[in-house]
C-alpha cells in the first residue's frame, strides 16, 4: 500500500501509536512530500507526531504557504517552541507572514540573543541579502593558528548552519579572507590562518537584491557567500539552500505574474478562484472585457480587408497568402510567449531586466522573419509566376514575424505592470494586435510594390 494511503488509513482508524512509529521511520524528503499532500487537518496530526528534531528538519523544508498553514493550526505554546528552534533567517522569513499579534508574542518569548538576531534581520529591506542571511557562522580573527581555528570550530560548529566555508576577519570584523574546511584540515596545525586563506573573497552587501545573491551562488558554484555591511564588516552568510529557495520563489512569482496567477498573490488568487468556481457574473467580469477587445479587433481586421477590397479584386492571388501571413504571426507570437514563460520558470530571465530580453527577442524575430520571408517569397513568386508578389509576401512575413515575436514578450509584461489579469488578457490582445498589424503591413506593401497594377 502506498505510504500516503497507509497514513490516511491510520489517521482514520486513530491508530496513533503505529502512525507515530511509521512517520518517524521516514526520511525528511519523504515526510515533506507526504505532509504537503495530506489534507490540512491530517497535516497537523502527522506533524505533531514527529520527534522534535525531525519536525524541525521537515518544517524548514516545507514551502512557505504550508508553514503558515501549520503555524495557524498550532496552539500558542507549540508555535513558540517551533519558532525558537528555527534558524534565525528561517524565523525572520516566517515572522514576516504571521499575523502581527502572533509575531509579537513569539518575539517576546525568544531569548535576548535570538530576539536581537531576528530583529536585526527584520530591520533590512525585504528581498535583500540582509533579510535572508543567517547571522550564525564561523569566522576567525587574523593571527590565530590552524590548531586554534579547529578548536574554535569544535566549540562553535554545532550552533551554526554550515562549517564547510569559513571566514577570516580583522579585529573589527572587516572581511579579510575565506577558506574551506578541507583546506583548514589539511594545513599544518602551526600555520597562521591568514597564510592559507583566499584573500579576495566574493561577497555581497546587506542591501544586494536576494535574487542577485542567489544567481551569484549558482553561477560561481559556492556553498555560501558572506554578507557585509557598508563598512565591509561581516554580518552574516547566505547559504546555497537559501539561494535555491529564493530562485524557486522568484521564478515562480515571475511566471505566475506573467500567467496572471499572482500579483499580488491575494488578488490573483481571488481572480483564479473566480474563474474556476465563481458565479457566471464573476467569470464574465474577468473574461468578457478581453474578448470584446478581440471582437473589436476582428471587426477592425475585417475593415482593413474591406479597405483593400479593390486590390483583392484586381489581384486575386493576394487572398491566397493572407492566411499564411496571419497564421505565421500567431504561431510566432505564441511561441515567443511560451519561450519567455519557460525561461522564467528556469530562472534564465529576469523581469527587472526586461528591456534587454525584449531587444534580443526583436533581433531574433527579425532573423527568423527574414529567413521565413525569403523562403515563402520565393515559393510565392514561382508559384504565381509573379516575382513582385513574392517580394510583397516575403517582406510582409518578415515584418509580421518580427512584430508578433515582440508582442509575445511585450503584452504579458505590460498587463503585469498595469496590474491586469494576464491569464485572461494576453492571448486575445496579442492575437488582435497581430491580426491588425499583419493585414495592414501586407496591404500597405501591396500598394507600395503593386500599386501600378491596381
Over range 34-55, report the average pLDDT: 81
Q: Identify which has the larger pLDDT, 332 or 27.
A: 27
pLDDT surpasses 60 at 314 = no
Lowest mean pLDDT among 57-66, 128-137, 288-297: 288-297
Q: How confident is the model at residue 268 (pLDDT cuts 50, 70, 90)?
A: very low
Q: How confident is the model at residue 264 (pLDDT cuts 50, 70, 90)?
A: very low
Q: How confident is the model at residue 260 (pLDDT cuts 50, 70, 90)?
A: very low
Mean pLDDT rounded to a whole number for the chain: 76
Sign of the CA dihedral running 30, 33, 39, 44: positive
**Of 76, 94, 124, which marks where a domain is finished?**
124
pLDDT surpasses 70 at 299 = no
Q: Identify which has the larger pLDDT, 344 or 438.
A: 438
Same-domain pairing of 97 and 175? no
Rounded Cα–Cα distance for residues 267 and 286 (Å): 13
Q: How confident is the model at residue 261 (pLDDT cuts 50, 70, 90)?
A: very low
Rounded Cα–Cα distance for residues 333 and 23 (Å): 49
Same-domain pairing of 282 and 222? no
How distant, in Å, are the alpha carbons of 40, 129, 278, 289, 326 from that of 294? 42, 44, 23, 9, 15
In this prediction, what percent of the chain has a pLDDT beyond 70?
Answer: 72
Centre a 10 Å sphere on the Cβ of residue 84 and count the other Cβ atoms it contains: 13
**Of 124, 151, 173, which marks where a domain is finished?**
124
Considering the domain boundaries, does residue 256 fall inside one?
no
What pLDDT was estimated at residue 255?
Answer: 44
Using an 8 Å Cβ cutoff, are 204 and 213 in contact? yes
Same-domain pairing of 309 and 432? yes
Over range 327-352, report the average pLDDT: 68
What pLDDT was estimated at residue 270?
Answer: 54
Over range 11-23, report the average pLDDT: 84
What is the C-alpha radius of gyration for the chain, rounded to an integer number of angstroms? 30
Q: How confident is the model at residue 273 (pLDDT cuts 50, 70, 90)?
A: low
Q: How confident is the model at residue 228 (pLDDT cuts 50, 70, 90)?
A: very high
Same-domain pairing of 175 and 283? no
Residue 165 three-state SS: strand
Which pTM was predicted? 0.46
C-alpha cell recorded at residue 276: 474556476
Winning range, highest mean pLDDT, from 2-16, 100-114, 221-235: 221-235
Give how far the C-alpha of residue 70 lies from the chain's centroid of Cα atoms, to the nearest Å. 24
Q: How confident is the model at residue 259 (pLDDT cuts 50, 70, 90)?
A: very low
Strands 224-228 and 234-239, bridge-based pairing: antiparallel
Rounded Cα–Cα distance for residues 372 and 244 (Å): 40
Same-domain pairing of 8 and 36? yes
Considering the domain boundaries, does residue 246 fall inside one?
no
What pLDDT was estimated at residue 287?
Answer: 58
Q: How confident is the model at residue 123 (pLDDT cuts 50, 70, 90)?
A: confident
pLDDT surpasses 70 at 97 = no
Same-domain pairing of 407 and 344? yes
Considering the domain boundaries, does residue 259 fall inside one?
no
pLDDT surpasses 80 at 394 = yes
What pLDDT was estimated at residue 158?
Answer: 60
Residue 144 three-state SS: coil
- Residue 45 zone, left/alpha/beta (φ > 0; ψ -120 to 50; rest): alpha
What pLDDT was estimated at residue 445?
Answer: 84
Q: Identify which has the larger pLDDT, 152 or 329.
A: 152
C-alpha cell recorded at residue 180: 574551506
Query: In the block, which residue shows the cell 487537518?
Result: 41
What pLDDT was estimated at residue 256?
Answer: 47
Residue 257 three-state SS: helix
Over range 371-382, report the average pLDDT: 86
Winning range, highest mean pLDDT, from 93-102, 122-131, 195-204, 305-314: 195-204
Lowest mean pLDDT among 8-22, 176-190, 194-208: 8-22
What pLDDT was estimated at residue 196?
Answer: 92
Considering the domain boundaries, does residue 249 fall inside one?
no
Same-domain pairing of 429 and 287? yes
Report the domain count for the chain. Answer: 3
Lowest mean pLDDT among 47-56, 92-101, 201-210, 261-270: 261-270
Same-domain pairing of 185 and 331? no
250-269 burial, b at 16+ Cβ within 10 Å, e below that, comes to: bbbbbbbbbbbbbbeeeebe
pLDDT surpasses 80 at 16 = yes
Same-domain pairing of 413 and 447? yes
140-171 burial, b at 16+ Cβ within 10 Å, e below that, comes to: bbeeebbeebbebbeeeeeeebbbebbbbbee
User: What angle (nearest 5°) sits at the alpha carbon of residue 252, between those of residues 250 and 258?
Assistant: 105
Query: In the block, which residue shows the cell 481571488?
Result: 270
Query: In the block, which residue shows the cell 530580453?
Result: 357
The DSSP line for 85-117 is HS-HHHHHHHHHHS-HHHHHHHHHHS-HHHHHH
| Strand intervals (E) in 202-241 | 204-205, 224-228, 234-239
pLDDT surpasses 80 at 138 = yes
Q: Identify which has the larger pLDDT, 454 or 366.
A: 366
Domain boundaries, position 376 = 265-453
- CATH of residue 233's domain is 3.10.580.10
What pLDDT was estimated at residue 195?
Answer: 92
Q: Identify which has the larger pLDDT, 250 or 147.
A: 147
Considering the domain boundaries, does residue 251 fall inside one?
no
Same-domain pairing of 119 and 164? no
Same-domain pairing of 209 and 342? no
Considering the domain boundaries, does residue 253 fall inside one?
no
Using an 8 Å Cβ cutoff, are 358 and 336 in contact? no
Same-domain pairing of 150 and 120? no
Using an 8 Å Cβ cutoff, are 146 and 182 in contact? no
What pLDDT was estimated at residue 42?
Answer: 80
**Of 223, 238, 253, which marks where a domain is finished?**
238
Winning range, highest mean pLDDT, from 52-56, 371-375, 426-430: 371-375
Burial (CB count <10 Å: 0-12, 13-18, 19+), residue 69? middle
- CATH of residue 295's domain is 1.10.357.20
The DSSP line for 62-93 is S-HHHHHHHHHHS-HHHHHHHHHHS-HHHHHH
Considering the domain boundaries, does residue 304 fall inside one?
yes
Considering the domain boundaries, does residue 245 fall inside one?
no
The DSSP line for 357-401 is HHHHHHHHHHHHHHHHHHHHHHHHHHHHT-HHHHHHHHHHHHHHH
Q: How confident is the model at residue 265 (pLDDT cuts 50, 70, 90)?
A: very low
Winning range, highest mean pLDDT, from 40-44, 141-145, 249-253: 141-145
Lowest mean pLDDT among 68-77, 133-142, 167-176: 68-77
Closest residue by Cα to residue 442 from 313, 308, 315, 310? 308
Sign of the CA dihedral running 232, 233, 236, 241: positive
Residue 428 three-state SS: helix
Over range 349-372, report the average pLDDT: 81
What pLDDT was estimated at residue 227?
Answer: 92
Amino acid at each position: 500500500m502506498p505510504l500516503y494511503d497507509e497514513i490516511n488509513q491510520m489517521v482514520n482508524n486513530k491508530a496513533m501509536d503505529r502512525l507515530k512509529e511509521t512517520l518517524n521511520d521516514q526520511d525528511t524528503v519523504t515526510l515533506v512530500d507526504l505532509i504537503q499532500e495530506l489534507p490540512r487537518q491530517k497535516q497537523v496530526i502527522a506533524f505533531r507526531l514527529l520527534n522534535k528534531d525531525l519536525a524541525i528538519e521537515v518544517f524548514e523544508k516545507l514551502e512557505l504557504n504550508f508553514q503558515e498553514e501549520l503555524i495557524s493550526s498550532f496552539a500558542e505554546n507549540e508555535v513558540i517552541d517551533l519558532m525558537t528552534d528555527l534558524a534565525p533567517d528561517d524565523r525572520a522569513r516566517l515572522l514576516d507572514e504571521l499575523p502581527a499579534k502572533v509575531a509579537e508574542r513569539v518575539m517576546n518569548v525568544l531569548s535576548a540573543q535570538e530576539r536581537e538576531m531576528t530583529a536585526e534581520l527584520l530591520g533590512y529591506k525585504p528581498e535583500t541579502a540582509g533579510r535572508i542571511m543567517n547571522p550564525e557562522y564561523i569566522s576567525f580573527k587574523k593571527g590565530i593558528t590552524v590548531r586554534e581555528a579547529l578548536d574554535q570550530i569544535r566549540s562553535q560548529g554545532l550552533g551554526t548552519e554550515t562549517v564547510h566555508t569559513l571566514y577570516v576577519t580583522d579585529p573589527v570584523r572587516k572581511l579579510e579572507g575565506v577558506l574551506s574546511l578541507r583546506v583548514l584540515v589539511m594545513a599544518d596545525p602551526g600555520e597562521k590562518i591568514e597564510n592559507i586563506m583566499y584573500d579576495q573573497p566574493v561577497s555581497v552587501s546587506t542591501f544586494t537584491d536576494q535574487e542577485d545573491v542567489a544567481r551569484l551562488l549558482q553561477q560561481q558554484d559556492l556553498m555560501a557567500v558572506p554578507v557585509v555591511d557598508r563598512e565591509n564588516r561581516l554580518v552574516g552568510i547566505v547559504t546555497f539552500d537559501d539561494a535555491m529557495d529564493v530562485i524557486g520563489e522568484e521564478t515562480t512569482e515571475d511566471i505566475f505574474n506573467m500567467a496572471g496567477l499572482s500579483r499580488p498573490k491575494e488578488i490573483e488568487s481571488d481572480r483564479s478562484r473566480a474563474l474556476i468556481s465563481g458565479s457566471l457574473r464573476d467569470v464574465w467580469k474577468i473574461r468578457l472585457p478581453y474578448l470584446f477587445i478581440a471582437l473589436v479587433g476582428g471587426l477592425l481586421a475585417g475593415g482593413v480587408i474591406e479597405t483593400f477590397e479593390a486590390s483583392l479584386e484586381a489581384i486575386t492571388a493576394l487572398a491566397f497568402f493572407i492566411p499564411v501571413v496571419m497564421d505565421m504571426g500567431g504561431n510566432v507570437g505564441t511561441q515567443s510567449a511560451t519561450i519567455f514563460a519557460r525561461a522564467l520558470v528556469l530562472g534564465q530571465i529576469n523581469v527587472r531586466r526586461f528591456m534587454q530580453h525584449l531587444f534580443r527577442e526583436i533581433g531574433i524575430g527579425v532573423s527568423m522573419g527574414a529567413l521565413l520571408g525569403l523562403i515563402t517569397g520565393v515559393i510565392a513568386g514561382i508559384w504565381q509566376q509573379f516575382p513582385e508578389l513574392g517580394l510583397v509576401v516575403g517582406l510582409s512575413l518578415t515584418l509580421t514575424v518580427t512584430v508578433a515575436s515582440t508582442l509575445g514578450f511585450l503584452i504579458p509584461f505590460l498587463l503585469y505592470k498595469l496590474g491586469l489579469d494576464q491569464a485572461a488578457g494576453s492571448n486575445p490582445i496579442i492575437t488582435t494586435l497581430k491580426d491588425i498589424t499583419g493585414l495592414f503591413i501586407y496591404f500597405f506593401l501591396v500598394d507600395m510594390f503593386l500599386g501600378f497594377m491596381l
